[in-house]
Amino acid sequence: MIFMISFQKVSKTFQSRLKPIHALEEVSFEVQPGEFVSIVGRSGSGKTTLLKLLLAEEDPSSGAIFFNDQDIHQIKSDKLHKLRREIGVVFQDYKLFPSKTTYENIAYVMEVMGASDREIKNDVAKVLELVQLTDRKDSFPEELSGGERQRAAIARALIHRPQVILADEPTGNLDPYHTRDIIKLLVKLNEMGTTIILATHNQEVINSLEKRVITLEEGKVIRDEKKGRFAI
């Protein structure tokens, strides 16, 4: 079986003045290309730490993490940008540039990558259409609704055509209507072939998806179900 992502007995301990904090303890799981996986757990269960390890923003205390058969924590720092181009990230607080329009926020990623003006114009137009923001391309973040800001953030995560999208509590600041909108978009992207890893504590979202759910509790995987439900 082919795995895109493999966590192999991964532990992460943070040192504090009082006592060590065990954020993750011997976490093991695999993700196949094209899967939609939800990571659930209470606040402090290790969800965000897990995503940071996958992005190589943190190093594991022990164990190994593989992305496309490569141990990501053996990648030299000057080569990490290649890994991160394969992983798009969507945050709860959008992280859009307030002084840039929707178009400019998305185009900026391609500019940094050295794309030509023609490539930028063509690709940004396509991704704006995909997330249904073509008519909002000249709007600044403060002029967008929460749902529109999150769709803009997803468009920005998509523009470099990553193999996987990590969505860290992407609906945490949204009302139920916009939450459904964003989840429908993530499902659509998954159906187009993008691997999705969704970290959330939204019970309604998890139960409506009927997709794989990995449940963390105090840094340990306590459940991994193919068609899981929110049970904490």
Cα–Cα distance measured from residue 176 to residue 161, given in angstroms and rounded to the nearest whole number: 28
Q: pTM of the full predicted structure?
A: 0.91
Residue 191 tokens, joined:
């159906």
> Is 23 strand, coil or helix?
strand
pLDDT tens digit at each of 232 positions of the chain: 678 999 999 999 998 877 888 999 999 999 999 999 999 988 889 999 999 999 999 999 999 999 999 999 999 988 888 888 899 999 888 899 999 999 999 999 999 888 999 999 999 999 999 999 999 999 999 999 999 999 999 999 999 899 999 999 998 888 888 899 999 999 999 999 999 999 998 888 998 999 999 999 999 999 999 987 776 6
Report the phi/psi class of residue 161: left, alpha or beta, with left for phi > 0 and alpha for psi in -120 to 50: left
Cα–Cα distance measured from residue 45 to residue 13, given in angstroms and rounded to the nearest whole number: 13
Q: Is the dihedral of CA 132, 135, 138, 144 positive or negative?
A: negative
